A and B are shown apart, each in its own frame.
Chain A
Amino acid sequence: MTIKKVLIKLVPLMVIASMLLIACGPGQVTTPITTEQPPAQGLVTVTFRSWSPIVETTTKMIEAFEANNPDVKVEATIFNYPEYIVDLKTRAASGTMADIVGLEPGALTQEYRDYLLPLQDCAEKTWGANWKDKFYPIGIDQARLGNPSGDESIYGLPALDQTINLWYNVPLFEEANLEPPKTYDEMLKVAEYFNGKGIAPLMVGASDGWLRRDVYMQLIHNIAPGKIYEAEVGNAKFTDPEFVEAMKWWKRLFDDKIIQEGALGLSAYPGSMELIEAGKAAMFPMGAWWQQQATRPNPPPLSKGFVGYAPFRFPDVTGKGSPPEDLLGGIDVMLGISKNSKNADAACRVLTDFIAGAGAQALIDTINDLPAVKGLNPSSFETQHQEEVWKTFTEDWMPKVKYARQLRDAAVKQALEDALAAVAAGEITPEQAMENVQKAWTPPK
């Protein structure tokens, strides 16, 4: 038999073998394997994979947890967000998900719902029957965002909450004798003052879709509170006049030179962050998480003790004279437990500790964002101003967070982000933009 003959016989066999392997592809349900929990013996290892909190903070949280729980060892792997979603998907598909995973409310959690353990029992066992009272209500609402009708289970518990809002540079405003604007006209006056002085009136790192969307969400919240969530479930259309109007206001922010030139080419992090910390921005859209700038190593003068910034609500664009009292926000990061975790009980202990125990205290001490549970505060503040800002968020604003920052459908979210870029670049009209968003919408399953 010649090599040619061998190859002629072998290659089809290999192709057939490949085809057999392919049979495990998209047509098959890759059901996660549920393994019985082994008896607790010695040290139990719980794995944790997420994009948030950052490595340094996570290390402190683990140290705090392990100090009180010597029988459990936590092994954490923290990624950048784009890498994390690749890791999460490949691990879920191959049945090797970590015991505890980081999640976002809405689309991300819903995608992995079949792979996650409902957490009500874990929460009740740890905190008692009234466990939900510990949390800010918006967190519990959003934990179920996108659940199918009738499914009241909670597949992830919030670890950190947030608001989205605007910030202003305190020294710049004091020097200019300006107050944070409450209306669009006042915002225009601020822009007039700072334009030409090398200061961006509103610094937006708009090459990041999430930041474009954050600004639009605040505009539509201003014009028609809650309507976008109606459109998401099909009770309104994205082509309705309110959505188009919000898109027109977005365009005006560029045309009126309130947002800086070249915003669509500037990233939120590190691009706009560096310019903001260098004092080149009078105002900027970020959320409560901006407070973490003060706790990074060697913060610049504006961020040290958080003396340089103060939050304010997005100005009113409707002519009412002041922005709405309620805010947008909700869960920053939530934690879930894998259904195939071999150590679900230990994972529950870690997860609840990271949310409301010693681990949570370590987390909040870094002022990474707002706590998901009420009454948890940093052990100390560097300045009185920093403490005042913290109290504004936790005592005044968080209880008033009524609407979600996130949308439930990834395709609509992407279409909206694309539409915002296209309108800002002058490629399409606001009407065409919202038609594109409506086209991306599909009825919720």
Chain B
Amino acid sequence: MTSISMINPGQSQRTLAIGKAIRKNLSFFFVVPALVLFLVFVLYPIIYIFRASLYEWNGLSAGTFIRLNNYIQLITSDRGFHLALRNSFYWTFLTIFPQMFLGFILAYILNSRIIGKNIFRMIFYMPAIISPIVIGIVWERIYNPFGGLLADVGRVTGLAFLQQSYVSDPKLAIFSCIAVNVWQWTGFSMLLYLAGLQGLSEEVLDAAAVDGANLLQKIRHVVWPMLRHVHLTLILLGVIGTLQTFALIFVLTKGGPNHASEMLPTYIFQNAFQLSQMGYASAISVVLLLLALILSLFQVVVLGARFSLHE
């Protein structure tokens, strides 16, 4: 009996079948690390936070199960939460679109042949790389009606409207913060638009010129539509930025006066760590998560998901 004859034909078939199955599903094993990371860092925290939101819990002691009471309180009687939601709405629309518009104008100008364009590009982009903490401290000085920069300029020039209580007036506070955010991030929009503009086909622009399009027509009908992927990228990043807004508000207004400039992340922080209402803060976090989900779906379904700079 030879060694060959010792191999069971059935066993051989099974071995081959296993090998085939492994080869067929090999790609799955490459997915496992990502799945594990997703489980640990995304799924687990989400379920944990949702469960915590059903408890009255300070983050340390045993919690008391209170069903949906945290959500009921949020919806029915929490003025701070309502203001934070309102401000998120303001922030989304009043930062993203002005930043895009101003960034586009700057990019268009600085994409032409003007002297010192690299220096201007650097100056406009610089705020984007400065810490929001530093920006908050500096703008506190600029906004202060008692000896602040804007108030002093107003006093010297007679432009009385500059002497406002920018961040101490509840009606103005959130808009003053939004203005700082627009100032900080317009340069970033400019940079992305510059990259987009430099990727545009010269032939298309020349063709538009040959067809007799003036500057505004060229921008409106050729350049702007061709930068769709940049617009989508900026909207995506803007929405993410809105939902993460914390440092600037925390330094500039601390969410005040009386929650007038509160954002969801600052309100979560206050409830979780200053008031030790971890269960309640978890409920706000769940709302924030839902908001992120809705906005993401809106973007994907309505605007499409082509975010890349290279379509």
| Chain B residues with CB below 8 A from A411, complex form | 275, 277
| Chain B residues with CB below 8 A from A21, complex form | 44, 48
> Given the interface contacts A264-B168, A266-B168, does A275 sit within 8 Å of B259 by beta carbon?
no
| Chain A residues with CB below 8 A from B16, complex form | none
Interface flag for B296 (CB, 8 Å): no
> Given the interface contacts A1-B25, A265-B144, A414-B274, does A27 sit within 8 Å of B60 by beta carbon?
no
* A410, B280: Cα distance in complex, Å: 14
Query: How many residues does chain A have at the interface if contact means C-beta atoms less than 8 Å apart?
Result: 58
| Chain B residues with CB below 8 A from A431, complex form | none
Interface flag for A424 (CB, 8 Å): yes
A251-275 contacts to B, CB under 8 A, are 260-267, 270-271, 275
Cβ A261 vs Cβ B145 within 8 A: yes
Cβ B145 vs Cβ A25 within 8 A: no
B1-50 contacts to A, CB under 8 A, are 21, 24-25, 27-28, 31, 35, 39, 43-44, 47-48
- Determine, out of B111-119, B226-234, B249-257, the stretch whose residues face the partner at the interface: B249-257
Find the A residue at minimum CB distance from B53. A26
* A21, B44: Cα distance in complex, Å: 7
> Given the interface contacts A6-B25, A262-B144, does A29 sit within 8 Å of B256 by beta carbon?
no
A184-212 contacts to B, CB under 8 A, are 198, 200, 206-209
Cβ A207 vs Cβ B253 within 8 A: yes
Cβ A418 vs Cβ B258 within 8 A: yes
Cβ B47 vs Cβ A424 within 8 A: no
- Determine, out of A10-18, A119-127, A290-298, A299-307, the stretch whose residues face the partner at the interface: A10-18
Interface flag for A89 (CB, 8 Å): yes
Interface flag for B192 (CB, 8 Å): no
- Determine, out of A44-52, A109-117, A128-136, A399-407, the stretch whose residues face the partner at the interface: A109-117
Q: Interface code B266-301, partner A: CB below 8 Å = 1, 0 otherwise?
A: 000110011111110000000000000000000000
Cβ B21 vs Cβ A1 within 8 A: yes
Q: Interface code A199-243, partner B: CB below 8 Å = 1, 0 otherwise?
A: 010000011110000000000000000000000000000000000
| Chain A residues with CB below 8 A from B269, complex form | 82
Interface flag for B174 (CB, 8 Å): no
Give chain A nearest CB distance to B42 CB in angstroms.
10
Q: Interface code B55-77, partner A: CB below 8 Å = 1, 0 otherwise?
A: 10111111101000000000000
| Chain B residues with CB below 8 A from A82, complex form | 250, 269, 273
> Given the interface contacts A25-B52, A410-B274, A411-B275, does A262 sit within 8 Å of B35 by beta carbon?
no
* A111, B170: Cα distance in complex, Å: 33
Find the B residue at minimum CB distance from A266. B144
> Given the interface contacts A18-B47, A82-B273, A425-B169, does A271 sit within 8 Å of B59 by beta carbon?
no
Give chain A nearest CB distance to B80 CB in angstroms.
8
| Chain A residues with CB below 8 A from B51, complex form | 22, 25-27
| Chain B residues with CB below 8 A from A264, complex form | 165, 167-168, 256-257
Cβ A26 vs Cβ B62 within 8 A: yes
Interface flag for A28 (CB, 8 Å): yes
How many pairs of A and B residues are in contact by the CB < 8 Å rule?
157
Interface flag for A54 (CB, 8 Å): no
| Chain B residues with CB below 8 A from A15, complex form | 43, 47
Interface flag for A422 (CB, 8 Å): yes
| Chain A residues with CB below 8 A from B253, complex form | 207, 265
Cβ B256 vs Cβ A26 within 8 A: no
| Chain A residues with CB below 8 A from B47, complex form | 15, 18-19, 22
B52 CB contact (under 8 Å) in A26, A262, A421: A26
| Chain B residues with CB below 8 A from A27, complex form | 51, 55, 62-63, 65
Give chain B nearest CB distance to A413 CB in angstroms.
9
Cβ B173 vs Cβ A22 within 8 A: no
| Chain A residues with CB below 8 A from B143, complex form | 262, 265
* A280, B28: Cα distance in complex, Å: 68
A89 CB contact (under 8 Å) in B60, B80, B165, B270: B60
| Chain B residues with CB below 8 A from A208, complex form | 254
Give chain B nearest CB distance to A346 CB in angstroms.
26
Cβ A422 vs Cβ B258 within 8 A: yes
Find the B residue at minimum CB distance from A440. B275
Cβ B165 vs Cβ A111 within 8 A: no
Interface flag for A43 (CB, 8 Å): no
Query: How many residues does chain B have at the interface if contact means C-beta atoms less than 8 Å apart?
Result: 58
Give chain B nearest CB distance to A169 CB in angstroms.
15
| Chain B residues with CB below 8 A from A275, complex form | 146-147
Find the A residue at minimum CB distance from B27. A3
Give chain A nearest CB distance to B30 CB in angstroms.
11
Cβ A265 vs Cβ B165 within 8 A: yes
Cβ B258 vs Cβ A425 within 8 A: yes
Interface flag for A85 (CB, 8 Å): yes
> Given the interface contacts A111-B276, A422-B257, A425-B257, does A26 sit within 8 Å of B25 by beta carbon?
no
| Chain B residues with CB below 8 A from A419, complex form | 258
Interface flag for A360 (CB, 8 Å): no
* A112, B147: Cα distance in complex, Å: 43
Find the B residue at minimum CB distance from A85. B273
Find the B residue at minimum CB distance from A262. B145
Find the B residue at minimum CB distance from A264. B168
Interface flag for B188 (CB, 8 Å): no
* A82, B273: Cα distance in complex, Å: 8
Find the A residue at minimum CB distance from B52. A26
B168 CB contact (under 8 Å) in A263, A280, A422: A263
Find the A residue at minimum CB distance from B167. A265
Interface centre among A1, A89, A198, A200 (most CB of B within 10 A): A89
Cβ B254 vs Cβ A200 within 8 A: no
Cβ A265 vs Cβ B61 within 8 A: no
B139-179 contacts to A, CB under 8 A, are 140-141, 143-148, 165-170, 173
Interface centre among A3, A82, A200, A425 (most CB of B within 10 A): A425
Cβ A92 vs Cβ B60 within 8 A: yes
| Chain B residues with CB below 8 A from A265, complex form | 140, 143-145, 165-168, 173, 253, 257
Interface flag for B137 (CB, 8 Å): yes
Find the B residue at minimum CB distance from A11. B35
Cβ A266 vs Cβ B254 within 8 A: no
Find the A residue at minimum CB distance from B251. A267
| Chain A residues with CB below 8 A from B62, complex form | 26-29
The 3 closest A-B pairs by CB, nearest first: A26-B63, A265-B168, A265-B167
Other A-B pairs beyond A2-B25, A262-B144, 14, CB < 8 Å: A10-B35, A28-B62, A82-B269, A92-B60, A112-B60, A114-B60, A115-B60, A261-B145, A262-B146, A264-B165, A266-B146, A411-B277, A421-B257, A421-B258
| 5 pairs from A and B in contact (CB 8 Å cutoff) | A25-B48, A26-B278, A266-B144, A418-B80, A427-B258
Contact residues of B with A, CB < 8 Å? 21, 24-25, 27-28, 31, 35, 39, 43-44, 47-48, 51-52, 55, 57-63, 65, 80, 137, 140-141, 143-148, 165-170, 173, 250-251, 253-254, 256-260, 269-270, 273-279
